[in-house]
Copies of this chain bind each other. A is one copy, B any other.
């Protein structure tokens, strides 16, 4: 009998988060104030985030200790399992060994609770009564609802109205954990009222929901705001994934040649890949880390590296990032978690410095890969996750062509239990390709009016 799983004991839950900023040859450029174009300091973030998270956001320390209270909650599902994908290898007749690290065992079904629990904890420590956030399809909102409930913090989620109506299960999940979920735009904020006065039937957008959640936090001393990706501290919290994966690969007597992960804002990619990049930076290993993005939202493969806003309406500081422009509206693909115009600052700098790679896939190719995976390994992956599987299949083909027996590690960051309508769409032949032309990309980039970055 083969040994399919590589499991770790609870005492092997990492004790520290890994801060890759310490090891980066070129540090990330500072965020700028959009008015003065001067670097902003930590104090600018104080209305929105607790001080400990702001410290982490700007930290250059290599290791940040994880409080025992957080590790204790992590133990509800961590360490997560790693699998050798024997069935998939057989179906593909693969010369490459394939492993996958599975974050879908968390209560909300993805990697998101790794940072949600940490953020809820630090807010609780600083006496915060309530956390607000936005959510689209609901992965992040449900993770934060779960985390806030455990620490006795109120959670208010502004959920894009069209998602609220079309994806009720995620909303109910948040309610079950005690969160309040509002269909955004609401009448509870000035931003929401403004939108509704112009268009009472607005279906909402992530940009509007962010505005509502941020306004709520900025105007109430007892309320803070939380973000589920993009920011440095969020990426750092996710490194528990990759640290476990490094140990698991060692236990399997292996080391990946290639690590693949889906890419939205950067947090799940960072989570699995940064601890392997550390081996490259420290020990001169040559592990390739590939970020897999949708062909319809190709900021890494076709975007530009320059200062841009993190949100659609332009309320955040200017961040140095690969972007398609903050007003870019991605096609309505099913991988809602990857429909974001820009990439987190750290990941952008790593790509600029050619320390990581990126690849884009159409959603049809991704669902084909996802169904193949489900039939082989049982788990039905989230649409976002399918992007990494699509990249892995290409790498297997390359290994065949080159006659190489490499080791590929897939980040299976979430299950697709709440995304089966998307699979139905694919299986019934109704799923559309969402191609974007170079002309459309050029037009989007031409609209960007924020500062360029000197070479």
Contact = CB atoms under 8 A, between A and B. Distances in A.
Interface of A: 1-5, 7, 9-11, 68, 71-72, 75-77, 83, 87, 105-107, 109, 146, 149-150, 168-169, 172-173, 175-178, 371, 374-375, 377-380, 417-418, 420-421, 423-424, 427
B1 A374 contact: no
B1 A173 contact: no
B423 A172 contact: yes
A146 B106 CA distance: 22
A377 B69 CA distance: 15
Contact of A1 (B4, B75, B423): B75
A371 B149 CA distance: 12
A375 B177 contact: yes
How many copies of this protein are present in the complex? 2
A70 to B, nearest CB: 10
With a 10 A CB-CB cut-off, give which of A87, A146, A374 has the most chain B CB atoms: A374
Closest 5 CB pairs of A and B: A107-B378, A172-B420, A417-B417, A169-B420, A4-B75
Contacts of A87: 150
Contact of A176 (B106, B172, B374): B374
A64 to B, nearest CB: 18
A173 B419 CA distance: 10
Contact of A68 (B1, B71, B420): B1
Given A9-B7, A149-B375, A1 B72 contact: yes
B417 A418 contact: yes
Q: Which of A76, A83, A107, A149 has the most CB of B within 10 A?
A: A76
Contacts of A172: 420-421, 423-424, 427
26 contacts: A1-B71, A2-B72, A2-B75, A3-B11, A3-B75, A4-B10, A76-B378, A77-B378, A107-B377, A107-B379, A107-B380, A149-B375, A168-B420, A168-B421, A168-B424, A169-B417, A169-B420, A172-B420, A172-B427, A173-B380, A173-B420, A175-B423, A175-B424, A175-B427, A176-B374, A176-B375
A271 to B, nearest CB: 19
Contacts of A83: 76
Given A375-B178, A427-B175, A5 B10 contact: yes
B374 A177 contact: yes
Contacts of A418: 417
Contacts of A7: 7, 9
A250 to B, nearest CB: 17
A146 B378 CA distance: 7
A178 B91 CA distance: 15
Nearest to A418: B417
Contacts of A10: 1, 3-5
Contact of A5 (B5, B75, B168, B169): B75
A178 B178 CA distance: 37
Contacts of A75: 1-5
Contacts of A149: 375
Contact of A427 (B107, B176, B420): B176
A336 B417 CA distance: 19
Nearest to A13: B1
Nearest to A8: B7
A92 to B, nearest CB: 16
A99 to B, nearest CB: 14
Contacts of A423: 172, 175-176
A397 to B, nearest CB: 23
A417 B176 contact: no
A387 to B, nearest CB: 17
Contacts of A379: 107
Point out which of A379, A380, A418 has the most chain B C-beta atoms below 10 A from its C-beta: A380
Contacts of A107: 377-380
A417 B176 CA distance: 12
Given A420-B169, A427-B175, A76 B371 contact: no
Contact of A380 (B3, B176, B178, B420): B176
Contacts of A380: 107, 173, 176
